[in-house]
Amino acid sequence: MPRTDTILILFNILYNTLMKYLYETHMHTSEVSACASSTAEEQVYAYKNKGYAGIIVTDHFINGYSTCPVYLSWARKMKHILSGYEKAKIVGDKCGLDVFLGWEFTIKGSDFLTYGLDSDFLLSNPNIDKLAIEDYSDLVRKHGGYLAQAHPYRDRPYIEFKSPVAHRLIDGIEVCNALDTFESNAKALAFAKRHDLPMQAGSDSHNAKTPYRCGVELDKKASSIHDIIEALKAKKAIPFTS
Ligand SMILES: [Zn+2]
Ligand SMILES: [Zn+2]
CATH of the domain at 113: 3.20.20.140
Give 242 Cα–ligand 2 centroid separation in angstroms.
19
Cα of 127 vs centre of ligand 1, distance in Å, is: 21
Q: How far is it, in rounded angstroms, from Cα 212 to Cα 206?
A: 12
User: Do the domain assignments include residue 128?
Assistant: yes
- Answer positive or negative: Cα dihedral of 234, 239, 167, 63: negative
Is 13 a domain residue? Answer: no
Give CA–CA dist 147/173, Å, rounded: 8
pLDDT in single tens digits along all 242 residues of the chain: 556 555 555 555 455 455 799 999 999 999 999 999 999 999 999 999 999 999 999 999 999 999 999 999 999 999 999 999 999 999 999 999 999 999 999 999 999 999 999 999 999 999 999 999 999 999 999 999 999 999 999 888 888 887 898 999 999 999 999 999 999 999 999 999 999 999 999 999 999 999 989 999 999 999 999 999 999 999 999 999 98
How many structural domains does the chain have? 1
Residue at 95 is within a domain: yes
How far is the C-alpha of 20 from the C-alpha of 236, rounded, in Å? 12
Distance from residue 94's CA to the centre of ligand 2 (Å): 25
**Which residue range(s) make up the domain with 66?**
19-241
- Indicate whether 10 belongs to any domain: no
116 Cα: distance to centroid of ligand 2 (angstroms): 17
Taking the whole predicted model, whether its pTM rises above 0.75 is answered as: yes
User: Domain for residue 212, yes or no?
Assistant: yes
- Which ligand has its closest atom nearest to the C-alpha of 104? 2
The ligand minimizing its distance to the Cα of 111 is: 2
